[in-house]
Amino acid sequence: MNLATLPVDFPLLTLILEQISGDKVGLPPDTRSIGERTYRRFESSGFTGNNVDPRDWRHFPYALWLEQEKGLATKSNITIMYLQEQLPRSLKSARRPMKWGRPLFFTYLDHFNPNDSVFEKLAQAGHDFFTSNAVVANTPIKALSTELSLFKTNSGPRLVANSILKTKIGLSKWISKFELWPGFISTPFAQFSFIELLKFPDAERRQVDYVRLVFDWGLTYTNQLRYPASKSIFAEALLLPWRSQQPPEDLKNEIIAKLLGTIGDPRIDRQHWYGVSAEAIQVLINWINGRTLDAFFRILQQTADEIWQYRQKFWQAYFSRGYIEEVWIALGDNAHHYLRRNSSSKDLQCATLTGASPDQSILLLKIGGILFCEWSHNGRLRAQRIDSPIAPELYKKTYHGADLRFESLDFNNRQNEDPGLVHFSSDSAGWQRRARDFIAKNVGVNVSLSEVI
């Protein structure tokens, strides 16, 4: 029967014909079931390999690693027999070498483990086969094996990661280009390749294409980590390149949104960030602080706070100098509505404010050992030492207005009955001068008057 005369407009039939006669690896079989069956065949031979069917030798890789302490990898005599006798002899004489090559290929990807000596021997066997003349030249599997050194455990994952990045066609199209199957992304080899991607130099990790690929590859469609064990290096790869410079605003917002949605807010969900370096976490917190400040002042503008621009100028000066360490906001009902309506801030966490006007907003700031509480509209600026029993706790979900009208440290040199600071004479630096002097005295950081007005 001439296979070439069969119709080729049936996708399943075409796939079967290609796998029978071509050099495509195709879809993986049920490797677990085949492995278990193959293991039993060798077990029945007393693990000698005597009277074992050639098909079972062909499927030998599937039975190497089945479960802990079980697998033919622990049987050194027949493993050596497979690698040094059966496989080389069969590859030379087989009419369809890929029938022997596919088990090597799928086992290599599914059990990638460079620290296993048996696996290294399997990898070398795979390299020898897929770079030989037994595999047709100018095919995707040949390119993977030669140009990207797929079966070289010390370089293959990094070369694959670099190829996916440099082709700039996206992960799914790259998988299609090399005629792999969609489940490739879930293999241990793909995970190793992803980790290699996360180790690229900072200059590459600051590129938009790189960040988008990390999200495309590292997250599932439900925005969960595809490889949970890589959480720390995943977060650090995205954050540490920005230790000394700022990303474009759109890129920063995208990174913030993805990390908050995937891992959580490190100011609140600290346990979820366990294992991530403090330096990387601080980069993200600084970004969140900046976005929170921006959101707060936009809310003041929308809720008709008459001096919002003066407040913004004052606190932005301290933030730009790196003096503001923590930022949290509490919002009345109307103010909260404005926050959620704005696309750039809707993912920010904040507290609910009760016992106050629905337009009221409160900004909580930590500078050094002092916690500042900035009330919007006609509210005062209050401050208290962070370790004082009357200082409000940061990052609570709800505050009552009375909790944030605490006894303040004195801004007024004991000239007023209430030691909190009224926002007087904004256009002539009235309250700004007094607040700046207070911060210099109590915290020890100085900002020029021209920077805050």
| pLDDT tens track for 153-211 | 999 999 999 999 999 999 999 999 999 999 999 999 999 999 999 999 999 999 999 99
Which one-letter amino acid corresponds to residue 324? I
Tens digit of pLDDT at every position of the chain (453 positions) = 444 444 444 444 444 444 444 567 889 999 999 999 999 999 999 999 999 999 999 999 999 999 878 999 999 999 999 999 999 888 777 788 899 999 999 999 999 999 999 999 999 999 999 999 888 889 999 999 999 999 999 999 999 999 999 999 999 999 999 999 999 999 999 999 999 999 999 999 999 999 999 999 999 999 999 999 999 999 999 999 999 999 999 999 999 999 999 999 999 989 999 999 999 999 999 999 999 999 999 999 999 899 999 999 999 999 999 999 999 999 999 998 888 887 667 778 999 999 999 999 999 999 999 999 999 999 999 999 999 999 999 999 999 999 999 999 999 988 878 899 999 999 999 999 999 999 999 999 999 999 999
Answer whether 83's CB lies under 8 Å from 121's CB: yes
Residue 381's DSSP bridge partners are: 374, 421
Distance CA 60, CA 34 (A): 9
Task: Give residue 431's region: left, alpha or beta (phi > 0; psi -120 to 50).
Answer: alpha
Our CA dihedral for 133, 136, 138, 141, rounded to 10 degrees, sits at -100
Return the ∠ at Cα 266 (arms to 261 and 272), rounded to 5°: 75
Which residue stretches of 181-248 are H helix?
188-198, 202-205, 208-218, 231-239
Core vs surface per residue 62-87: b (16+ CB within 10 A) or e = bbbbbeeeebbbebeebbebbbeebb
Answer whether 452's CB lies under 8 Å from 313's CB: yes
Q: Could you please report the per-residue DSSP string of 287-310?
A: HHHHHHHHHHHHHHHHTT-TTHHH
Return the ∠ at Cα 328 (arms to 322 and 333), rounded to 5°: 145
Q: How many other CB atoms are there within 10 angstroms of residue 256's CB atom?
A: 21
| pLDDT tens track for 313-352 | 999 999 999 999 999 999 999 998 888 887 667 778 999 9
Distance CA 227, CA 230 (A): 6
In 3D space, the residue among 338, 355, 409, 339 whose CA is nearest the CA of residue 380 turns out to be 409
Judged by DSSP in three states, 232 sits in helix
